[in-house]
Amino acid sequence: MPHRTRQMVAVVTVALGFVVALAGSAQAQGNSSLGTWKLNLAKSSFDPGPPPKSHTRVYEAWEKDGIKATFTIVGADGKTTLNSFTAHYDGKENKYVGSPEYDTILITRVDANTVDSTQKLSGKTVIQTRSVNSADGKTRTFTSNGTNLKGQKVHNVQVFDKQ
């Protein structure tokens, strides 16, 4: 291969690498849910209670159009649980790991700042949640309704602050 052709191939390869990297970065920046979020207990309400002592959520871009979520929750009893899932915003069931309350989750993007999710246990809907990011991207509010394992009606409003 002539020297000039090798140079051109190298330039095109590097340019394509930058385009792919920038496209991934742009997609990640376009998802206002990504990042680390901490529960603001003062602004949140739990019915029935008690609220957890703390709750941190980390959202990362996953595959082309999905999300990887990892939650660290310190319960009212002081026990720490780790929950996680990976999913696309396509409304299909995905495995939810670490929770006794549900074993699958379905997520759907409503708009740039709103996501609906349904958490199920053994195929039965348990909790439905709408999460909304504030216009400034600093807070995220989760409104959840359903029934817990004790058969109690649940209505939680959890407000998270971006870290």
User: Do 121 and 75 share a structural domain?
Assistant: yes
- pLDDT tens for each residue of 81-121: 999 999 999 999 999 999 999 999 999 999 999 999 999 99
For the cut 60, the answer to whether the pLDDT of residue 54 exceeds it is yes
Residues 19 and 91 in one domain: no
Instruction: Indicate if 25 and 41 belong to the same structural domain.
Output: no
SS3 135: coil
Same domain (yes/no): 100, 147? yes
* CB count in 10 Å sphere of residue 126: 20
| Integer Rg of the chain from CA | 20
Residues 47 and 60 both lie in one domain? yes
Based on the fold, state whether residues 38 and 103 are members of the same structural domain. Answer: yes
What is the share, in percent, of the chain residues with pLDDT greater than 70?
82
Range of the domain at 80: 33-162
Confidence band for 32, pLDDT divided at 50, 70 and 90: confident
| In the predicted structure, residue 14 carries a pLDDT above the cut 80 | no
Task: Kindly report the pTM of this predicted structure.
Answer: 0.80
Q: Which pLDDT score is estimated for 2? A: 58
Same domain for 128 and 156, yes or no, is: yes
User: Tell me, what CATH number does 73's domain have?
Assistant: 2.40.128.20
120-136 pLDDT, tens digit each: 999 999 999 999 999 99
107 and 140: one domain?
yes
- Indicate if 16 and 55 belong to the same structural domain: no
d(CA 55, CA 53): 7
Residues 41 and 16 in one domain: no
Residues across the chain: 163
61/131 same-domain check: yes
- Pair (17, 84) in one structural domain: no
pLDDT in tens, 108-117: 999 999 999 9
Residue 13 has pLDDT above 60, yes or no: no
Q: How many domains does the chain have?
A: 2
For residue 149, give every residue at least 6 positions away whose Cβ sits within 8 Å of its Cβ, in sequence order, or none: 100, 101, 121
For residue 56, give Cα distances in angstroms to 46, 68, 98, 151: 16, 14, 14, 26
